[in-house]
Amino acid sequence: MARRKTRKKKVTKKQITITAKKLWALFVAIWVLYFFVIISAPESVFAYLFISLNLLFGIIWTHILFGLIMIIWVVIFLEPLKIQRRLFPKVFFLLFAATGVLSLPILEEQNLHSMGKWAGWYLWDMIVTLTYFLMWNANPTKIIIITIFLGALAWLLYSIDAKNLVPKMNIDVGPIATKKKDTKKSTKKPLLPINNVSTEIPSDASIKKNLFKSLIKGKMEKKIANKKEKKKAILINFPKDKPTFDTNIMDKIPKNTVKIDEWILIEKARKIQGKLAEFNIPVEVSGYDIGPTVIQFKIKPDSGIKVSSIERLKKDLSLSMRSKSLRILAPIPGTNVVGIEIPNPNAEIVYLKEILRSKEMKTNMNKQFTNLCVGKWIDGSIFLQPLEKMPHLLVAGATWSGKSVAINDFILSLMYQNSPSELKFIMIDPKQVELGLYEGLPYLLAPIINDPEKALRALKWAVEEMKSRYKLLKVNKVRNIEEYNSKVSDKEKMNRIVIIIDELADLMMSGKKKDVELYISRIAQMARAVWMHLIVATQRPSVNVITGLIKANIPTRIAFGVVSQIDSRTILDRMWAEDLLGKWDLLFSSPANKYPIRVQAPFVSTEDTEKIIKSIQNKYMQGLSEEDIYDSKLIEALEQSAATTGPGVWAGNGDELLLRQAIEVIQETRKASITLLQRRLKVGFARAARLMDQLEERWVVWPQEGSKAREIRI
């Protein structure tokens, strides 16, 4: 077994990709050779190629077949297509069948002596055999040959997926009324199509016509669905060497030669003691920590002093120290001192390159490969946090506070530790400017999603993918993906999926707030064991965006600078975020820490990001296009109609969509009640009652009779 494994590693499978350019070049070369032999060099060595063709097709039909080759290539290249090697046998089979059709005149008995000139020797055997079994009757033989030709043509068109050559049918069919066997038949109006707002009664002929159209539409959708199921995503085994890119391509880290003088720290400490002494609060400065942008003084109050009395003097301390921002941490967790944090006058920028090349990063990569480069602690040490322990992350902060830079840090740090075979991203960017740099990377399952409607479909697909993964775990009797991957082969292993939403507020305000909230909460509740994670960011930390359900399911949060204490409480359930300095200064909160941790996030420039993306593309995307790396099922889900996305309605023509969904619910459950519409469509009582009235006006349901559920007419 060991020898077989080492043998597999040495063998590299090369897939031959035949593109349109290569086929056109081959086509031109054939025609140049053809004319060269016929006109310029009929006695050359190349003429032996045509001697063999003459034996197969005959002298005359050899020239005709070259014309057929031109026609077939023109049909194929109406739109650029990638043709695989299995297409060529079908093309040549079609050419043989076409030769038989063009050779129909030789079926007459008096023309059988001219076989070598007309059709070649292979047709002579076939036609003689057919005519012998058909009692020398030419007409059945012709029918058989034509049938073979049409079958070969259909086979070829089906193999190249010629759906683009067929006009699309856009049929919008409303529900069709069925008969009701009761005495009220003559007094009730038949059902009208949903899109028709007229009150005219349709005739029986129009109802049959709609029925016929619906049957056609159903068959077409079934054929398209079956054809899509046959398409399989290309399985690409990328190299798994780590790290995936070299940090030397990033710009050099400038050295910070400016250091803070000790006498400045002593002066600040004396001001703190003096101000607190004015309010009869004697304290002792026991030490300090100098971080990249913040200095933390550790003060120890005398016995009998309440810690809350120090917290109330925040504004007075800020006034005496002339500090634009001051935070009091009373007490510092695990100690008997109170921390007072003020800005560092000689602030230092933390760079992502510095963290990626640190010893802490190398040590943690030996344990797991989901370490997020959060930044540096207030004491200057590097802070890394594994995503699988979070397992989801909520990032919020005001504009220009560093939120987008942190998202780039997390994406690059994950790509640094994982190959495209191990990690996949679904990136949702409604603003269309933040995540566009990552377009075309092999880490993506789909193109960058900018449309809120497609974003909801992507979240719905993620929920279905989560369910399918749990089914696999149940079948294999394992608890998580790690155990599953240890049991299966390399081709069957699952990768980790990280869903990044750069602006949650735009999705929540797009018309389907409840559906977005539901899908995010569903993924956050259950997706940890199947290696699916959420990183959600927003610059609008309000209760309309960061709802209680989302907060309850995403306990790990990062808060950048905000405007007010209300926004801070919305993110962290406590104040302090309003005291942050900006410029990538953040508070990290997780269930493992009782108090938020102050961290300075690393900075990565756009130029460095572009260099990293280019190096990854050069390493993994050789010979591959963007379509090769995307997931076909997710692409199909993104192309679905809006009516099948979810139970809610997007902005615009919402009543019609709700009516359609209400009819679908009624047809599925065979029940019609206001409470049923409330539960299934997730609308209020007034909206559900109005929908029921509209359904009654359009003769979908019968009028209300007491407290019973309404009878259905469809």
Q: Which CATH number belongs to the domain containing residue 285 in this structure? A: 3.30.980.40
Closest CA to 450 of 470, 434, 463: 434
Give the pLDDT of residue 575: 87
Q: Is residue 655 situated within a structural domain? A: no
Domain extent for 79: 15-165
Please provide the size of the chain in residues. Answer: 714
Q: Report whether 189 contacts 700 (CB < 8 A).
A: no
Q: Are residues 531 and 427 in the same domain?
A: yes
Q: Report whether 424 contacts 445 (CB < 8 A).
A: yes
Q: Is residue 203 situated within a structural domain? A: no
Q: Give percent of the chain with pLDDT exceeding 90.
A: 33
Which segment of 89-98, 104-113, 165-174, 498-507 scores lowest on mean pLDDT?
165-174
Q: Are residues 477 and 626 in the same domain?
A: yes
- Distance (Å, whole) CA 581 – CA 292: 12
Last residue of a domain, one of 579, 610, 637: 637
Q: Mutual orientation of helices 59-76 and 47-57 as an angle, nearest 10°?
A: 100
Residue 76, pLDDT above cutoff 70? no
Q: What angle do CA 421, 425, 431 make, to 5 degrees?
A: 155
Q: What angle do CA 213, 219, 222 make, to 5 degrees?
A: 140
Q: Are residues 267 and 151 in the same domain?
A: no
Q: Mutual orientation of helices 59-76 and 87-102 as an angle, nearest 10°?
A: 130
Q: What is the pLDDT of residues 341-362, one digit of tens each?
A: 999 888 889 999 999 999 999 9
Q: Report whether 497 contacts 426 (CB < 8 A).
A: yes
Q: Are residues 524 and 380 in the same domain?
A: yes
Q: Report whether 602 contacts 375 (CB < 8 A).
A: yes
Closest CA to 54 of 37, 70, 41: 37
Q: Are residues 309 and 364 in the same domain?
A: no
Q: Report whether 35 contacts 28 (CB < 8 A).
A: no
Q: Report whether 384 contacts 372 (CB < 8 A).
A: yes
Q: Are residues 418 and 313 in the same domain?
A: no
Q: Is residue 227 situated within a structural domain? A: no
Q: Are residues 566 and 633 in the same domain?
A: yes
Q: What is the pLDDT of residues 471-486, one digit of tens each?
A: 999 999 998 899 999 8
Which tops the pLDDT comparison, 653 or 670? 670
Last residue of a domain, one of 147, 165, 183: 165
Assess whether the previous peptide bond of 202 is cis (omega < 30° from 0).
no
Last residue of a domain, one of 294, 322, 343: 343
pTM of the model: 0.61
Q: Are residues 523 and 432 in the same domain?
A: yes
Q: Are residues 412 and 486 in the same domain?
A: yes
> How many domains does the chain fold into?
3
Q: Is residue 60 situated within a structural domain? A: yes
Q: Report whether 39 contacts 32 (CB < 8 A).
A: no
Give the pLDDT of residue 649: 34
* Residue 70 confidence class, pLDDT cut points 50, 70, 90: low
Q: What is the pLDDT of residues 203-231, one digit of tens each?
A: 445 544 454 455 555 545 545 444 444 33
Q: What is the CATH number of the domain that holds 577?
A: 3.40.50.300
Q: Are residues 447 and 522 in the same domain?
A: yes
Write the DSSP symbol of residue 653: S
* Residue 1 confidence class, pLDDT cut points 50, 70, 90: very low
- Distance (Å, whole) CA 134 – CA 612: 71
Q: What angle do CA 671, 676, 679 make, to 5 degrees?
A: 150
Residue with the two structure tokens 């359904």: 695
Residue 676, pLDDT above cutoff 90? no
Q: Are residues 357 and 337 in the same domain?
A: no
Q: Is residue 695 situated within a structural domain? A: no
Q: What's the mean pLDDT in 141-157?
A: 76
Q: Report whether 298 contacts 338 (CB < 8 A).
A: yes
Which tops the pLDDT comparison, 14 or 380? 380
- Distance (Å, whole) CA 80 – CA 318: 68
Q: Is residue 192 situated within a structural domain? A: no
Which segment of 30-34, 389-393, 682-686 scores lowest on mean pLDDT?
30-34
Q: What's the mean pLDDT in 98-117?
A: 56
Q: Is residue 252 situated within a structural domain? A: no
Which segment of 103-107, 175-179, 317-321, 323-327 scores lowest on mean pLDDT?
175-179
Give the pLDDT of residue 361: 94
Q: Are residues 158 and 54 in the same domain?
A: yes
Q: Is residue 9 situated within a structural domain? A: no
Give the pLDDT of residue 587: 95
Which tops the pLDDT comparison, 160 or 436? 436
